Amino acid sequence: MTSPEDRLAAMGLAVPEVAKPVAVYVPAVRSGAHVFTSGQLPMRAGELIQTGKVGGEVSAEEAYACAQQCALNAIAAVKAEVGDLARVTRVVKVVCFVASTPDFTGQPGVANGASELLGEVFGDAGVHARSAVGVPVLPLDAPVEVEIVVEVA
């Protein structure tokens, strides 16, 4: 069986450094058998990969890629909390916030960027409950923010 990190590598990805919080909070908290991540922005190398509203300056395809980066950052926060991604037994819940124009209704498709990545990385354990929510604005004018809850052994 391959590890979550092996699956990431096969996709040409790696667990990034944990994104530095933009305010007063921690990237993840463990409570019992669950790890709750804070909302993760589409940061790469300390900078947002995209800004703006989905349906405006940001296309649905670009937002999908942002959701993938958010999920990758959430994975990094989980790994920093538990040490080994193989300890994840279930991705329980994903919440995806999409800063979008009032007429954009494709939030579920954007959120698939996070959901599909988590499914690839964690296999059957990556199948999860999910919410995809349209909002008027996100921190730093990010188009997408993702938080996850995972169960760990």
For the chain, the DSSP string reads: ---HHHHHHHTT----PPPPPSSSS-SEEEETTEEEEPPB--EETTEES--S-BTTTB-HHHHHHHHHHHHHHHHHHHHHHHS-GGGEEEEEEEEEEEEB-TT---HHHHHHHHHHHHHHHHGGGG--EEEEEEES--GGG-SEEEEEEEEE-
pLDDT at 20: 82
Bridge partners (DSSP) of residue 97 are: 133, 145
pLDDT at 132: 98
* 128 φ/ψ angles, rounded to the nearest 5 degrees: -145, 165
Claim: this prediction has a pTM higher than 0.95: yes
> Sheet holding 144-152: strands in order across?
28-31, 34-37, 144-152, 88-99, 129-135
Set out the domains of the chain in order of their start, with CATH numbers. Answer: 4-152 (3.30.1330.40)
Bridge partners (DSSP) of residue 134 are: 98
pLDDT by position in tens, the chain (length 153): 699 999 999 999 999 999 888 889 999 999 999 999 999 999 999 999 999 999 999 999 999 999 999 999 999 999 999 999 999 999 999 999 999 999 999 999 999 999 999 999 999 999 999 999 999 999 999 999 999 999 999
pLDDT at 100: 98
What span, in angstroms and rounded, lies between the C-alpha atoms of 135 and 58?
Answer: 14
pLDDT at 1: 64
pLDDT at 92: 98
